[in-house]
Amino acid sequence: MALSVQGLRKSFAGRNVLTGVDFTVSAGEVVAFLGANGSGKSTTLRCVMGITPPDAGSISIDGTPLDSLHSGDLQRARQRMAMIFQKIHLVPRRTALDNVCSGALARIPTIRSLTPLLFPAEVQQEALDCLDRVGLADRAFDRVGRLSGGQQQRVAVARALCQRADVVLADEPVSALDPHAAEHVMALLRELAHTEGLAVAAVLHQPELALRYADRSIGLLQGSMTFDLPSTEVTAKHLDTLYAPDRGVSDRNFAA
């Protein structure tokens, strides 16, 4: 099991955002998190990544619980997870290659990471290979700001690959993209999972994308899980329970 999470809890200012979330993601598998706004999908990923400290819960990578590790070992274990963001978070002025190299910063001595000119040649070669794996080797020396949104998100995936991550946590990776680019990025994540054995956990806002690209889908409602099923077994009824509170509001507003 690449990633295993048990009893994850988190509250912000007395409001329970996560009330005990348990799930696993295996190598070679894409797992989608579905749910309405505020259901705790993104908080789940941020807690797993350690960006937001959880109140309780155990996170294991390849069977090793993170809370059994300290400083250096913990840092190394965390680096086996990479995060992909809705807002992409690349540096637009730098080239695709330099941005991908920055995924490897943990392996580069500080003095050689002050400017891209000093990045070791083998890191640059590895970054180029990662760009090749996402189909963007020919854009390596273009500034990221000149690439389309979908291409930028693929560069962010390449950065995660250059980090040599086994687990990729994607927080709404396609919400800011047009439908065509969204399909492209989801297809890429599925291909990387199925052919290279990456474990992918993705928060998605479009259930139809989840059902087409994810092997398994997890539904979150007000901080707890309502289902954890192979995507082929998720029905319209399952989805209705997730988005019902949202729809209740809009029903009232648009009633004739």
For other proteins, the binding residues (CB under 8 A) are 49-51, 75-76, 78-79, 81-83, 85, 87-94, 102-103, 105-106, 108, 110, 113-116, 156, 159, 163
* Residue whose C-alpha is closest to residue 95's, from 36, 37, 148, 142: 142
CA distance 101 to 124: 6
Closest to other proteins by CB, 149 or 245: 149
Q: What is the smallest separation between the CB atom of 197 and other proteins, expressed in angstroms?
A: 20
Please, what is the minimum distance in Å from the beta carbon of residue 207 to other proteins? 26
Q: State the nearest-atom distance from the C-beta of 158 to other proteins, in Å.
A: 12
* Residue whose C-alpha is closest to residue 246's, from 23, 39, 12, 45: 39
Rounded to the nearest whole angstrom, what is the least distance from the CB of residue 152 to other proteins in the complex? 12
Listed as own residue / partner, the contacts of 175-178 with beta carbons closer than 8 Å and 24 or more positions apart are 175/86, 175/205, 176/86, 176/87, 176/88, 176/149, 177/149, 177/150, 177/153, 178/149, 178/150
What is the smallest separation between the CB atom of 227 and other proteins, expressed in angstroms?
29
Q: 93 or 247, CB closer to other proteins?
A: 93
Q: Which is nearer to other proteins, 110 or 232 (CB)?
A: 110
Smaller CB separation from other proteins, 76 or 247: 76
Cα distances (angstroms) measured from residue 208 to each of 2, 90, 173, 213: 26, 27, 15, 9
CB closer to other proteins, 235 vs 250: 250
Q: Which residue has the tokens 């913990």?
A: 74
Which C-beta is closer to other proteins: that of 94 or that of 238?
A: 94
Place of tokens 């927080």: 171
CB of 110 to other proteins, least distance (A): 5
Residue type, 168: V
User: Which residue do the tokens 């200012």 mark?
Assistant: 13
| Closest distance of CB 188 from other proteins, Å | 18
Q: Are 181 and 150 in contact (CB under 8 A)?
A: yes
Structure token pair of residue 36: 């309405």
Reading the block at residue 202, the tokens are 């993705």
Name which of 142 and 183 has its Cβ closer to other proteins: 142
